[in-house]
Structure 1
Amino acid sequence: MNAPANPIKAPALPSSAAPRTPQWYVRVRDYLVQRTLPPVLIGGALLLIWQMLCSGPDAALPPPTQVVSDTWELIIHPFYDNGGNDVGLAWQMLASLERVAYGYLLAVIAGVSLGVLVGQSTWAMRGLDPLFQILRTVPPLAWLPLSLAGFKDSHPSAIFVIFITAIWPIIINTSVGIRNIPEDYRNVAKVLRLNGLEYFHKIMLPAAAPYIFSGLRIGVGLSWLAIIAAEMLIGGVGIGFFIWDAWNASRISDIILALIYVGVVGYLLDRLVAMVGQYVTRGTSAG
């Protein structure tokens, strides 16, 4: 019998000819696996636990499925406006964000300026630091009656509460950053004979920027916390008053939905300040 002929094998492709995975696909896959998948899995597990714990007839809180069904109109119509305080959650959020923007920007301007003064001047630090340490321990809502008495209007009163809440971490972190500028930087400024404005722009701000933005991130978080509490007392359009009004009407699902929105917006505000800080502090020493 004749032996079977050996099958002809196709030549192996060189490694350079093997198909390569696109780099964008690898980056997207790694991002989804490392950054997106963990919070999705944990969030799904928490929702499942919530659903199981609150599905009984004696549960004090509604399960997530009931929250969605009860608030479906609020979810799909965020911009409705029936006049007065009866507006959608988007308008409530925008009203709160407007107050936060005014108060926070004022706090940034005043806080960075005072922080630079305290960080540069020993006399200013000795005179102002004890006052700052005393005032920053006053709870934010304790300022609300005084601001209402002074401004005679709820809108500027809420802005003042935001301002007085956010300014302290900005002052403290800015002053620490200024005091921690390396001596070599100061010597270079003397050699180059930089004037006060040039020293502030080219030496002081870049060197202290990591500290400053740490204070700005803390400040924006405190601002968002304070406005929610303040709006519960001053009334009007705002997510804080919406939560308080929902409580008075026993709309627990509306409260839960509003709290979710508050958390998401607070997270986005923190991320926004962090992104600006990363862009500004590129090439500077970390604080």
Structure 2
Amino acid sequence: MKKHFRLRAALLSLVMLVLLVAIWQVATQPRQPAAAAAPVDAEYAALMGQPVGNSGASKKTNGFPTPAQFAEVAARQLSDPFYDRGPNDKGIGIQLAHSLVRVAGGYLLAMLVAVPLGFLIGTSPLIYKALDPFIQILKPISPLAWMPIALYTIKDSSISAIFVIFICSVWPMLINTAFGVAGTRKDWLNVASTLEVGPLRKAFRVILPAAAPTIITGMRIAMGIAWLVIVAAEMLVGGTGIGYFVWNEWNNLSLSNVIFAVLVIGIVGMALDMMFATLQKKVTYAE
């Protein structure tokens, strides 16, 4: 029954994909340019590389790509993803690697801070009350709002991006860890106390297994936010990364490359989420 349901869902997804591609194809069909265009429309068409008025071109030559044009660009990018022809011309693989390294650095730092501190907050109501005002003030601040401060103090764009990932990843992990630890069943803790289990062993053998599903949920949310933020951060700081690739290709008026990069961002984000979803299933138990 479950296998049949998955097959039907996959077929429905395939039908939706075909429908979207068909709409895309119809929407990007070449068309005759207008004989005369308003100044604003003419300026926009010139910016996008489209013919303006009686410029000699009979049809739309580029701009938003057709599915065939996009497939051609995607095949070219994937055929050599690690080429390096200078600062502003690197393959999608190199740009993606830079982004993943930054995300990994900031995320691991956040995990090293958030999980132990979340344990402490979850086990101590006093520390929770003391730290709660700071958490409530800092949590709503947009991670990108920290970028100017990071650039001024750190004076390195890559490390500043790592700091932004750290500051956006720490809150979901901290809050979910504290919630999971505080929600550990009291009878389990009472049994551990009856057996005179030490604090360290109680933390690893009782509290951590009970709180693990909630902690992994926080880590999963944090990874989604981190991957979302790194793209915007790299657009601001420039240099390397998938976000910079998107911005640079937009400046080059290559919408095909922009759409390809957006698709890559989505696929990588989905892969990262699936990784944490698998981990979450492994640590979740049925009562």
Flag whether TM exceeds 0.5 (same fold).
yes
Deviation of residue 66 (structure 1)? 2.0
Name the amino acid aligned to 1:109. L
Matching of residues 148-167 of structure 1 within 5 Å: 148-167=151-170
Residue 137 of structure 1 aligns to a residue whose secondary structure is coil
1:242-263 CA distance string (max 9 Å, x none): 0011111111111000000000
For residue 192 of structure 1, the aligned residue among 188, 191, 195 is 195
Other-structure match for 1:105: 108
The whole-number CA distance in structure 1 between the counterparts of 2:110 and 2:104 is: 10
Name the amino acid aligned to 2:217. S
The whole-number CA distance in structure 1 between the counterparts of 2:145 and 2:172 is: 18
The whole-number CA distance in structure 1 between the counterparts of 2:74 and 2:253 is: 13
Other-structure match for 2:86: 83
Residue 12 of structure 2 aligns to a residue whose secondary structure is helix
The whole-number CA distance in structure 2 between the counterparts of 1:71 and 1:213 is: 34
Deviation of residue 37 (structure 1)? 2.3
Question: 5+ residue gaps in structure 1?
Answer: 1-25
Matching of residues 210-221 of structure 1 within 5 Å: 210-221=213-224
Deviation of residue 121 (structure 1)? 0.9
Residue 271 of structure 1 aligns to a residue whose secondary structure is helix
Kindly indicate whether residue 250 of structure 2 is the aligned counterpart of residue 276 of structure 1. no
Name the amino acid aligned to 1:43. L
The whole-number CA distance in structure 1 between the counterparts of 2:135 and 2:205 is: 28
Other-structure match for 2:122: 119
For residue 141 of structure 1, the aligned residue among 141, 144, 148 is 144
- TM-score relative to the length of structure 1: 0.84
Other-structure match for 1:40: 14
Q: Conserved in 1, the CA contact under 8 Å of 2:88 and 2:248?
A: no
Question: 5+ residue gaps in structure 2?
Answer: 34-59
Q: Conserved in 1, the CA contact under 8 Å of 2:220 and 2:277?
A: yes
Name the amino acid aligned to 1:135. L
Identity of aligned residues (%): 41
Kindly indicate whether residue 97 of structure 2 is the aligned counterpart of residue 94 of structure 1. yes
The whole-number CA distance in structure 2 between the counterparts of 1:226 and 1:132 is: 20
Q: Conserved in 2, the CA contact under 8 Å of 1:207 and 1:284?
A: no
- TM-score relative to the length of structure 2: 0.84
Kindly indicate whether residue 181 of structure 2 is the aligned counterpart of residue 178 of structure 1. yes
Other-structure match for 1:23: none
The whole-number CA distance in structure 2 between the counterparts of 1:92 and 1:50 is: 27
Q: Conserved in 2, the CA contact under 8 Å of 1:55 and 1:62?
A: no
For residue 240 of structure 2, the aligned residue among 233, 237, 242 is 237
